[in-house]
């Protein structure tokens, strides 16, 4: 297998974190699922085959001539590692070849942050994956959802955005899809340089 353009291990497994069930579909916590779904929607029909395995929805196919797998764990967020670990072992995928897409309350709404490794930052989904993979040496794309001002964190992450926040959230999902595509094309280093900066604010068009 050839490496990515930045000389590092290529990404061959993309994991979007979230909670199964219609009641969580539009929640902030499910932004990882949303990114995987939009990635899949952008591929030609039939490019990826869906299978039920490792307590997950798993999609297998090829992208740019390389095998690629996308995973949506159905274990609920706090037990994500119980899906990611077994799939990595079954497919013989190293942590260095994994990219986890996850929400992050420590980032402002709309910000993205790509990292090659790191601690869980208190995120229970990442904490579970770190435990199952035996370390922090997997890539992650964090999507900023901000912190609540007046309500509890659990209620906040399990609810959706409205109004202007919804516009920022939806734009972030689109940009995250572009970031993942760029990782697959050019590698993590190039994608970090391009997507870790704050997005350019939209300017109103003059009449």
Catalytic residues: 29
Rounded Cα gap, residues 82 and 73, in angstroms = 9
Rounded Cα gap, residues 75 and 166, in angstroms = 27
Please provide residue 14's backbone torsions phi and psi, each rounded to the nearest 5 degrees. -110, 125
The residue count of the chain comes to 207
What residue has token string 């990635």? Answer: 39
Q: Which residues contact 147 (CB under 8 A, 6 or more apart)?
A: 105, 106, 153, 156
- Closest by CA position to 139, among listed 113, 117, 112: 117
Rounded Cα gap, residues 147 and 88, in angstroms = 32
Rounded Cα gap, residues 84 and 75, in angstroms = 10
With vertex at residue 131, the alpha carbon angle to CA 127 and CA 136, rounded to the nearest 5 degrees, is 75
Q: In Å, what is the CA distance from 36 to each residue of 83, 141, 164, 177, 206?
A: 16, 12, 24, 8, 36
């Amino acid at each position: 297998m050839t490496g990515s353009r930045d000389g590092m291990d290529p990404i061959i497994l993309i994991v979007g974190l979230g909670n199964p069930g219609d009641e969580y579909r539009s929640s902030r916590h499910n932004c990882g699922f949303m990114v995987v779904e939009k990635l899949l929607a952008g591929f030609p029909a039939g490019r990826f085959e869906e299978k039920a395995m490792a307590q997950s929805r798993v999609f297998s196919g090829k992208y740019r001539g390389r095998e690629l797998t996308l995973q949506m764990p159905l274990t609920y967020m706090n037990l994500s590692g119980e899906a990611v670990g077994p799939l990595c072992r079954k497919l013989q995928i190293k942590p260095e070849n994994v990219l986890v897409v996850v929400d992050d309350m420590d980032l402002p709404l709309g910000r993205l942050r790509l990292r090659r490794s790191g601690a869980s930052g208190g995120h229970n989904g990442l904490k579970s994956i770190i435990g199952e993979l035996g370390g922090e040496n997997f890539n992650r794309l964090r999507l900023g959802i901000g912190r609540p001002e007046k309500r509890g964190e659990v209620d906040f992450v399990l609810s959706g955005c409205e109004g202007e926040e919804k516009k920022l959230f939806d734009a972030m999902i689109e940009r995250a899809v572009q970031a993942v595509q760029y990782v697959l094309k050019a590698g993590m280093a190039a994608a970090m340089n391009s997507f870790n900066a704050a997005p350019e604010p939209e300017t109103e068009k003059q009449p």
